[in-house]
Homo-oligomer: A and B are copies of this chain.
Amino acid sequence: MNVIVNHRSYTLPATPIAVICLDGCADEYLSVAIARGKMPRLAAMARDGWRGMVRGALPSFTNVNNSSIVTGVSPAIHGICGNFFLDPESGEEVMMNGPQFRRCGTILTAVADAGRKVAFITAKEKLRTVLGDGVVERGGIVFSSEKVDEAKLATHGIDNAMEIIGKPRPEIYSGDASIYVLEAGAALAEQGRADFLYLSTTDFMQHKFGPEAPEILDFHARIDNAIGRLLDAGCTVALTADHGMNAKNDTSGNPKVIFVETLLREKFGDSLRVICPITDPYVVHHGALGSLVMVHLEDPSIRTEVAEYLFAREGITEVLTREEAVIKLELASDRIGDLVVLSGRDVVVGKSPEHHDLSVLTGGLRSHGGRYEEMVPLVISKPLTPELQRHAEGDPRNFDVFHFACHV
């Protein structure tokens, strides 16, 4: 059975498929967890299948990359270039919290149309609403662990989800919220309720803990256990991430932040705005600070001067014009700023001190959004075909994960 979505062709295998997007899973997390013996099932996948690095979409944010993964295309095509954008017509900051902002269909609905039992389970409710449209109408299941208690047959494709899964609703700001996603997927696969699964977790734990923290090693052990259940249920499992994660602190443990709007207004006046497209209702773990912001200028004539001023700043690694960002970062022209600004491995960019509540950050800041969180792991439970091997030897992307999963 073959389906075509956004000009890409997917041949659906007879066996069940589970694609996992482990939010914020920098490759180091897997290396350390495997080294410490915490992920024996994933280690076996890497041994018997394939493990390599794939390139994510920029900005290296959750919505952007989940949108790419479920559509199989770049943000230039699907249009989700962050959680927020500045509407060029209204001048308002708009949160892209619904499917109307997405500019193309998803693999999930196309596969459901082809008769497969699709399940899309997320940790955060926002991802369900942004990417889950059309699946339930086609007989699939879509819910978030955050609001699993609200799941109903008519709206989510499932009644009594918590009973089926065998666990009550987890707290959203927890590792449990992510474990729950994989365990729910495993329950659905085990019970034959789904055979084409997309399971997308939250990076609460990764924002909080580096790879060696006992808490995250325990977290990964539980993730591995759930992966094992998916494998035992006969699934081909493909695991990737939406973005990596890096510590963003100085040697004293204080966040290294460049407040771009403040910086620019001091020099160029108030006729400019900075949008932090990482901002969303779930900011407790990162204070809305990431490694990419958009700069909007009322007066386009100062653009080159602003760009040069910003790029000269220590910690700023790239400043692209809108036109350059469309080509180099594969972004949609009307969803980005006049300038797109990226910061270094250990640096974040923000708007102004007032805009960010740093007091929510306990134990330092870990975040993402820039070039240094672009490369992520891909682990597949089966070896690559020669054709996929050639693909992997080019510039494979994290949003090729369904392609890999379908064709191994």
Name A residues whose Cβ lies closer than 8 Å to a Cβ of B: 27-28, 30-32, 34-37, 43, 46-47, 50-53, 55, 210-212, 247, 249-251, 253, 311-312, 314, 317-318, 324, 327-328, 344-346, 364, 371-372, 375, 389-391, 393-395
Q: Are A55's CB and B345's CB within 8 A?
A: yes
Q: Are A324's CB and B345's CB within 8 A?
A: no
Q: Are A251's CB and B364's CB within 8 A?
A: no
A104 to B222, CA, bound (A): 50
A31 to B31, CA, bound (A): 7
Min distance, Cβ A305 to any Cβ of chain B, angstroms: 13
Q: Are B36's CB and A52's CB within 8 A?
A: no
Query: A317 contacts which chain B residues (CB < 8 A)?
Result: 328
Task: Select which of B47, B211, B314, B364 is within 8 A of A36 by beta carbon.
Answer: B47
Question: With A34-B34, A390-B251 as given contacts, are A28 and B52 in contact (CB-CB < 8 Å)?
Answer: yes
Task: Select which of B27, B212, B250 is within 8 A of A394 by beta carbon.
Answer: B250
Closest partner residue, chain B, to A372 (CB atom): B375
Q: Are B51's CB and A46's CB within 8 A?
A: no
Query: A375 contacts which chain B residues (CB < 8 A)?
Result: 372, 375
A35 to B47, CA, bound (A): 5
Q: Are A251's CB and B345's CB within 8 A?
A: no
Question: With A37-B47, A318-B318 as given contacts, are A391 and B32 in contact (CB-CB < 8 Å)?
Answer: no
Closest partner residue, chain B, to A390 (CB atom): B251
Q: Are B345's CB and A249's CB within 8 A?
A: no
A319 to B395, CA, bound (A): 21
Min distance, Cβ A408 to any Cβ of chain B, angstroms: 14
Q: Are A391's CB and B251's CB within 8 A?
A: yes
Q: Are A394's CB and B32's CB within 8 A?
A: no
A345 to B375, CA, bound (A): 10
Main secondary structure of the interface of A (DSSP, over half): mixed
Q: Are B31's CB and A51's CB within 8 A?
A: yes
Query: A314 contacts which chain B residues (CB < 8 A)?
Result: 327
A212 to B48, CA, bound (A): 11
Query: A394 contacts which chain B residues (CB < 8 A)?
Result: 247, 249-251, 346
Query: A36 contacts which chain B residues (CB < 8 A)?
Result: 47
A-B pairs, top 10 by smallest CB distance, nearest first, are: A35-B46, A346-B395, A247-B393, A35-B47, A345-B395, A346-B394, A31-B51, A28-B52, A28-B53, A36-B47
Q: Are A51's CB and B35's CB within 8 A?
A: yes
A90 to B395, CA, bound (A): 40
Query: A251 contacts which chain B residues (CB < 8 A)?
Result: 390-391, 394
A314 to B330, CA, bound (A): 12
Query: A253 contacts which chain B residues (CB < 8 A)?
Result: 390
Candidate in A31, A37, A52, A345 with the most chain B CB atoms within 10 angstroms: A31
Q: Are B28's CB and A46's CB within 8 A?
A: no
Closest partner residue, chain B, to A55 (CB atom): B345
A250 to B389, CA, bound (A): 12
Closest partner residue, chain B, to A47 (CB atom): B35
A346 to B30, CA, bound (A): 24
Task: Select which of B30, B31, B51, B364 is within 8 A of A393 by beta carbon.
Answer: B364
Query: A31 contacts which chain B residues (CB < 8 A)?
Result: 27, 30-31, 46, 51
Closest partner residue, chain B, to A308 (CB atom): B324
A250 to B364, CA, bound (A): 42
Query: A344 contacts which chain B residues (CB < 8 A)?
Result: 395
